[in-house]
Structure 1
Amino acid sequence: MAYHPQQGGGSSFPMFFPQRTRGFAPEAASSSSFSPFRENQFDILEWYPQFQSCVRYFLDHAQYDGPIQAMAAFINIQLPFQKSPNPIASSRLAGSSPGVPSPSSPAAGKLPMPNQLPACVSLNPYIRRLVATGFDFPGVLHGFFGDNWALGIGHIHEVERRNYLFAAKSSSWLDVKSQYDMPDGQSVPFLRPLQNVTEKEIVSAEANWSQWLAMQDWMIGPRNPEVDRDTQIVVKDEDD
């Protein structure tokens, strides 16, 4: 698959040509966006406004962008405005008052009040579909979720990449595909191995997988095995 800069227009999303078979834009190969998510460094109150920014960008701009619509059609997932019988055309509720501070703006200074709630849409299905089809590159994520994608949906992206590794390790291809299929004919057209994987990401996934295996064996709480100071988990053989 090849990505080429779009000629004309204001979209920063690289144009997608399915008839080409090789190459990605150089900036899409950066591994800096794939550092493992560290829960102890995560502030949910700082994250939430960035996440809302991604939702607003996706609903108000990205879903109406031609390249995004082409990508969504290729990976067979409906955009919010295409959903029937309840399309979501924008992030604003009908009749919302102009001039009301955005819930994520400094002027608001607090979590959204009930009369300021934006339209509700989950970004996870789109992140999951991009991960499973191998299109979760920084350029694509920027096209879908805007400038704040790394801060707004970056940690969700990290977790979904890890979940995809876990699904592949624990299930057959057919079972994994069934978990990534969606209703209303939105089945995943193909699965690709996880792209741009770093050694650091694999080590993090191994540690989390070992924690899961330990819980399966009830090695939690007072039975938690002695942890290693560097890895924070004793790597447990799956056959133990």
Structure 2
Amino acid sequence: MFSGFPNAGGYPSFPRAGGTTRSESSSAASGSGSGQNAGGTPQFDIFEWHPAYQSCQRYFLDHAQHDNGVQAVAALVNICLPFQWTTNPIVNSTSPLPHSAGPASYNPPWPRPGPVMNSRGQPLTVWVSLVPYIRRLIVTGMDREGIMHGFFGDDWRKGVGPVHECERRNYLFAAKSVGWAKVKYQYDMSPHESVPFLKPLQDVQLAEIEGAEKTWSQWLAMEDWMVGPRAPDVDDPADDGATRRES
């Protein structure tokens, strides 16, 4: 009953270089538009995405963070890997998760003295957010395919690809909203893990820009309370994308 969330979490649906998005491909294969909602918006299947994201988490914790190349990139962009956290470092995906494990960790409300098994007898993965690392790679221009693969493994397109696209769009929005100093401030994590440099978004596709423009226009409409029954008709070909105000 949860399948087919339309654009869940605001994840964009524009194609990346080299092909269409998964939601678009599945919709085209069906021939009946089952991959879209009634309004034609591509759907985001969180249950298809989540196992791939977990695979990226495990790869990042068990392999990538111990790789010399990943450590070199992390040092260059000034972000600590989980095993480098000075307080309660996490060395792999099945490590006991202590409280206050780090800036990207989640502390469950129950104790975890050791690896916890699921119903199949498999160890559960320690939850460490990959978003801070994705954001840091984006704003420093390091989110190239080879580096993304090195950090997050073979499943990176399925697992962190939607997050990567969403955060690239957020970076465009940040640059459009405020000046350089405030953008940098938004991406600084702490005095010790500040962003050493910012670079314009790399390898931008036209579809990516157009998708961001459409979503930005929707946000401008939100600022003017042009939502719900007052929302502009975004599918109107005569609409120039600007916020329309009622007279």
TM-score where L is the length of structure 2: 0.72
Alignment partner, residue 242 of structure 2? 236
Show the 5 A alignment for 1:49-128.
49-94=51-96, 95-96=114-115, 101=120, 116-128=123-135
* Structure 1: runs of 5 or more not aligned: 1-29, 104-115
Distance 1:54 1:139 in 2: 14
- In structure 2, the residue matched to 1:192 is 199
Q: CA deviation at 1:184?
A: 4.7
Match of 1:167 among 160, 169, 174: 174
Q: CA deviation at 1:226?
A: 2.2
Unpaired segments ≥5 residues, structure 2: 1-15, 25-40, 97-113
Report the AA paired with residue 42 of structure 2. N
1:119-146 superposed Cα distances (whole Å, 9 cap, x missing partner): 1211000000000000101111000000
Calculate the aligned-residue CA RMSD, in Å.
2.9
Residues 35 and 201, structure 1, Cα contact 8 Å, conserved in 2: no
CA deviation profile, 1:62-118 (whole Å, cap 9, x unmatched): 000000000000000000000121211110144437897477xxxxxxxxxxxx542
**Contact 1:226/1:234 (8 A) holds in 2:** no
Distance 2:53 2:240 in 1: 34
Relative distance call for 1:33 and 1:75 in structure 2 (3 A) is farther
Tell me: CA distance 1:146–1:175, structure 2 relative to 1, closer, same or farther (3 Å).
Answer: same
Over the matched positions of the two proteins, sequence identity in percent amounts to 54
Partners of 1:150 and 1:122 lie apart in 2 by 16
Correspondent of 1:152 among 149, 155, 159: 159
TM (norm. structure 1) is 0.74
* SS of alignment partner, residue 220 of structure 2: helix
